[in-house]
Amino acid sequence: MQQPTGHIHPLSQIISEVNSIFAEIGYVFAEGPERELVEYNFDKLNVPQDHPSRDMQDTFYLQGDHERLLRTHTSPVQVRYMLDHKPPIRMICPGKVFRNEATDATHEAQFFQLEGLCIDKDISLGHMKGVLEYFFSNFFGGTVQVRFRPSFFPFVEPGVEVDMMIEKNEQNKLSGKWIEVMGAGMVHPNVLENSGVDSSVYQGFAFGMGVDRLAVLKYGIDDIRLLYNGDLRLVNQF
Amino acid sequence: MLISYQWLQTFFDTPLPPPEVVAEALTFHSSEIEDIAKVGTDTIFDVKVLPDNAAWLLSHRGIAKEVSVILDMPLTSDPLRLSNEVLPVSDQIHVTLTSPVCDYYTATLIEGVTVGPSPDWLREQLEGLGQKSINNIVDITNYVMLATGQPLHAFAAHTLAHGKGYAVGVRQAHSGEQFVSLTGEEYQLTPEDAVIVGGKDEVLALAGVKGGQYSGITDQTTSIVLEAAHFERTAVRKTAQRHKLPTDASKRYENGISRVLIPPSVALAVSLISKVAGGAVIGTKTVGEGLEVRQSVTVTLSQINSLLGLSLTISNVTTLLDRFGYSYEVQDDEEVTVTPPAERDDLTIPADLIEEIGRVYGLDKITSVPPELLVANQLNKRHYYAEVIRQTLVARGFSEVYTSSFRNQDKVRIQNALASDKGYLRSSLAENLREARAKNIPHRDLLGIPTILLFEIGTVFAVDTEEFKVCLAVQTNTTYKAKTDDVLWRTAIADLESVLQTSLAITEAGEGVVEFSLDAILVTLPTPSAYGKHVASPVVSYQPFSLYPAVSRDIALWVGEGVTAGAVMSALQSSVSADQLVRLTHLDTFTKDGRTSLAFRLVFQSDTKTFTGVEIDALMEVVYATVAKYGWEVR
C-alpha cells in the first residue's frame, strides 16, 4: 500500500484562503499572543473591571498571574496593531481564542476567531458592508448579501450583528436564507484613544467571527469539536 | 427577559400590530427577540437585552418605549412621565444611611393591608412571565419591577419597630454577620456587603440583592414598609457575585438603573396595593437626592452620515429625535445638541446618538461601498513559512491536526480550568501528537493509509513566554519501531531543511516524534516578497463518520491479462453497497509465470451497528460471487 498525499487541516485551508481574499484589498495578516494582558483583552477595549459587559465572555484566568489571561477574542490584536501602526490601517487577525464554557457540538472552549480592522478618515458602516459582501462572495462563491441588526459589543459604537445570505442554489442547504455570522461595528472612540489613534481624525470598523463557523457553513461539519481533537477521519476528507 | 405582548398594549391607546410585526421591529431596530411563545391568550417575547441598554430596557415600560419610537406610535400611558400624587411625609419613619452604597432611599408605611393570594390577573401575568406568585404584596413589588425596572421590597413593619415609630437603615455588614434570605439560605457577610437593618440594627435584607426571612410578609402581616432605593451598581454586582446570588433586582442595579425610576414606581405600587390588598398610606420618608442630571451631547450631521454611511438631512434626524421625545436644539442646520432623558445613562458621546439615529432609521438602508483592490503592504512571515512547511509535509504524506492547548499536567496552571485533566497550558505539542497518533492507528485501513503521519503547528507556553512550534509524529504499526519509523520523520525533516535552506532548531526527537521551534528559525529565513498562489479551499461536503468499528478483510486474485486494479475495484464496489464497503484499497500487484495477481483490502463498516462475523462472511460471499462471475480466481 502506497502512502498517499497528506491533508492540510480545513481550518488552515480556510485561514489561508481568507488571507488571500483580504490581501487583495490591502489587509495585513496580524498576530498577537494567546496569553494576553488583561489590560489589552478588556480594559483598553472599553470593558471595565466589575462591569456587566465582562460577563459576555467567560474567561480562563491563570494561577498566580493577575496581569494575564487566555485571550477571549482576537480583538486585543486591534489594540496592539494600532499602538504599533499609524492609520490608514487594514488588518485581519486569525487566531486561537479561549472561552470558559461547557463544550458541545457547536461550542468549544478553544477555537479560532477572525478579526478584521479598518481605520482611516471617513470609514463608515457602508464600507464595512462592502468589505464583508466582497469577502463572503469570494469565500462562499456567488453573490452573498449582508445585513446588519443593532447589537452591543463594548469596543464598538454603533455595534451590529451581521447576517449573510448565500445566493439560492440547490447544492447548498444553507443558501437562500439569512444566517447570523458575526459581531461588528464602528470602533469605539475610547478604543481608538486607548490605542494611540486620534478619534477626532480617524474612525473605522472592526468585526470578529468564528473560523470554525466558516468551516461549518462551507463544509457542513456537524460537530466543531472534531476540528480540534486530531482525528484524521475528519482531516483526511479535505 | 420575558415580555408580555398584552402588557405592552396597555401603554398604548391604539392597537399594536400583530406580535410577529412587533418582534421583527424590535429585532431589527432595538434588541433581538430570541423566542416568541403563546401563553394562553397572550404572546410572550424573550428579549435579549444587552449591557448597554440594560439600565432602561429591563422592563415593560422600556420595551414599550422602544416599540413606540420604532413604530412611531405615541406612548400614551408612560409611568415615567405621569405626575404622581405627593404622599404625606411621615415622622414615624426614621431612615439612616451610613453606607456609601445607598444614596437615595424611600420608605413608605402602609397600614391595614390584607395579605393573601393575588387576584387572578396579577397571578396569571406573573406566571406567564416565569415568576412565582407568593402573595398579593410581594407580587405587586415584582409586578412593578417588571413594569418600570425598579426593584421594590416590602418589609413586615413590626420588624422595623423602634420606639413609637419605625426605623430602617443601610449600613455595611460586620465581618461574619449572618443573613438568612427569604428562601431560607444562610450567608456569612463581609464588610464589603451593604445591608438593610431594622430598628434593632439587625440585618433584614442584602441591599439590592435579596430580602430576608425575618422581615418577610406573611398572612398575619397588616402593616408594611415599602422600600424603594438606589444602590451603587458595582457594590451590588460584587455582593451578588460574592454570594453567588444573582437576582432580578441585582441584575437591574448592576446595570445602573436611574434613581428617577423610584417616585413613579412607588406611586404605581401604592395604588396597586390599595386596590388589591386595601389599607392606607400613613406616610413616607425619603433620604437623599433623587434628581439625575444628564449632560447634553452634540453631534454634527456630517458625523452622523460619515459613521453610518447614510445621507440623512437634518430634518430626517430631528424627526427621529422627536419620536424618541428627546429635548434638543439644532444649530445652523448642521449640528444638534441632545439632552438625554434622565433614565438613559448610555447617551454620552456622539457615537451613542449616532447609533440611536441609525438603528431607528434602519441599518438595512445602509448601502455598501465595495472595497478598492490594493496590495497588502506587509506580509506575515510566520504564516508564509507555516504554509511552506504544510505544503512540504503534505507532499510527504503527512496530515495536519489541531489539538487542545490544555494538558493535565504542565508548567502554566489555569486558575479556573474546565476539568482536572485540562488544568494546564501545553509547553510542547509532542504529548498531544503521541495521543493523536495512538487514536488514529486503529483507523489506518479505514483511511486507506499504511502509516500514521501527523503534524501540528501551534502555540506552546513556557512560564513567561509563548512560541509557535512544529511537531511531527509517525508510526507504521501498532507500536513504534525505530527501524521502520525513524526514517519517516528523518526524511521529512531533511525535506524541510532543504526547502527552507536552514537547519531546524529541534527541541525534542524520539520514538517517532520530533519537534522544532518555528519562531526560532523565522529570524534566519529571508523576508518573503509575495504569498504563494491563492488556492481556493476545496469544495468538500463533509460526511459524518460512523462510530461503529470497521472490519478489514484482504483478498488476492489471479486475473487475466489486461485486467487493471481499477476494473476489479469498480466491479467489487458495484457489488457491495458503499454504506457497507466503506473503503477498498489496492495493496499490491505481482506477476508470476505469465499470471497477474492483484491484492486488495476491503473495509466494512455500518452507520447503524457493529457488524458481526457472520454478517462480514455474508458480505465476503457476495464479493467472491462477483469475482467468480468475472472469471477471476481467489488465491
8 Å CB contact between B189 and B176:
yes
Q: Over the stretch B323-363, which tens digit does the pLDDT of each residue have?
A: 999 999 999 999 999 999 999 999 999 999 999 999 999 99
**B370/A130 Cβ within 8 A:** yes
Q: Does A148 touch chain B (CB under 8 A)?
A: yes
Q: What is the mean pLDDT of residues B34-57?
A: 95
B2-77 and B297-364, same CATH topology: yes
Higher pLDDT, B539 or B441: B441
**Dihedrals phi, psi of B458, to nearest 5 degrees:** -165, 175
Alpha-carbon distance of B136 to B590, in angstroms, equals 91
Q: What is the pLDDT of residue B380?
A: 96
CB-based contact (8 Å) between B238 and chain A? yes
* Residue ranges of domains in chain B: 2-77, 93-288, 297-364, 381-522, 551-634
Over range A3-11, report the average pLDDT: 92
CATH architecture classification, B297-364: 2-Layer Sandwich (3.30)
**pLDDT, averaged across chain A:** 94
Of B564, B573, B561, which Cα lies nearest the Cα of B604? B573
Residue-wise pLDDT tens digits, A121-138 = 999 999 999 999 999 999
Interval B285-299: pLDDT, tens: 999 988 889 999 999
Q: How far apart are CA B377 and CA B385, in angstroms?
A: 18
Residue B8 is placed in which grid cell? 405592552
Mark yes or no for CB contact B543/A237 under 8 Å. Answer: yes
10 Å Cβ neighbour count for B544? 13
Say which CATH architecture domain B551-634 belongs to. 2-Layer Sandwich (3.30)
B520 in contact with A at a CB cutoff of 8 Å? no
Residue A71 has pLDDT above 90, yes or no: yes
Q: What is the pLDDT of residue B539?
A: 76
Report strand pairing: A89-98 vs A28-29.
parallel
Query: Which pLDDT tens digit goes with each residue over A19-41?
Result: 999 999 999 999 999 999 999 99
Mean per-residue pLDDT of chain B: 94
Confidence of residue A52 (pLDDT cuts 50, 70, 90): confident
B-chain residues near A221 (CB < 8 A):
542
pTM for this model (two decimals): 0.92
Say if residue B234's pLDDT is above 70. Answer: yes
Does the CB of A189 have a partner CB in chain B at under 8 Å? yes
Higher pLDDT, residue B594 or B192? B192
- Under DSSP, is residue B42 helix (H, G, I), strand (E, B) or coil? strand
Answer whether A6 sits within 8 Å of B396, measured CB to CB: yes
Predicted pLDDT of residue B496: 96
- Integer Cα distance of B158 and B362 in angstroms: 55
Exposure b/e, B409-442, CB count within 10 A at least 16 = b: ebebebeebbeeebbbbbbbbbbbbbebbebbee
Q: Using DSSP, state whether A105 is helix, strand or coil.
A: coil
Does position B45 have pLDDT exceeding 80, yes or no?
Answer: yes
Q: How confident is the model at residue B538, as a pLDDT?
A: 66
CB-based contact, A163 to chain B, within 8 Å? no
Give per-residue pLDDT as tens, B397-454.
Answer: 999 999 999 999 999 999 999 888 899 999 999 999 999 999 999 999 999 898 999 9
CA distance B229 to B151: 8
Provide the pLDDT for residue A206.
Answer: 98
Mean of pLDDT values over B211-230: 93
A126, B308: Cβ pair inside 8 Å?
yes
- Which chain B residues touch A150 with a CB distance below 8 Å? 28-31, 355, 359, 363
State the architecture of B93-288 in CATH terms: 3-Layer(bba) Sandwich (3.50)
Phi, psi values for residue B247, rounded to 5°: -130, 170
**AA identity, residue B61:** R
Show me where the domains of chain A are located. Answer: 10-141+190-231
Q: Can you name the CATH fold of A10-141+190-231?
A: BirA Bifunctional Protein; domain 2 (3.30.930)
State mean pLDDT over B64-90. Answer: 91
Rounded mean pLDDT, B528-532: 86
pLDDT at residue B536 is higher than 90? no
Residue linked to cell 439587625: B202
B290 CB near a chain A CB, below 8 Å?
no
The CATH number of B2-77 is which of 3.10.150.10, 3.30.56.10, 3.40.50.2020, 3.40.50.2300?
A: 3.30.56.10
Q: In chain B, pLDDT over 90 holds for what percent of residues?
A: 84
Tell me the fold of B381-522.
Answer: BirA Bifunctional Protein; domain 2 (3.30.930)
Q: Could you say which residues from 39 to 98 on chain A have a Cβ atom under 8 Å away from some Cβ of chain B? A: 50-53, 55-56, 60-64, 70, 90, 96, 98
Amino acid present at A130: G
Confidence label for B537 from pLDDT (cuts 50, 70 and 90): low
Q: Which of A190, A187, A164, A189 is nearest to A177 (CA)?
A: A164
Question: What pLDDT shows up at residue B41?
Answer: 93
Once rounded to an integer, what is the mean pLDDT over residues A141-150?
94
Residue B216 has pLDDT above 70, yes or no: yes
Q: Of all residues in chain B, what percent are helix, strand and coil, respectively (each to 5)?
A: 35, 25, 40
If one counts every other C-beta atom within 10 angstroms of the C-beta of residue A28, the result is 20
Question: What three-state secondary structure class fits A106?
Answer: coil
Give me the pLDDT at residue A64, please.
93
Structural contact between residues B310 and B365, judged by C-beta atoms closer than 8 angstroms? yes
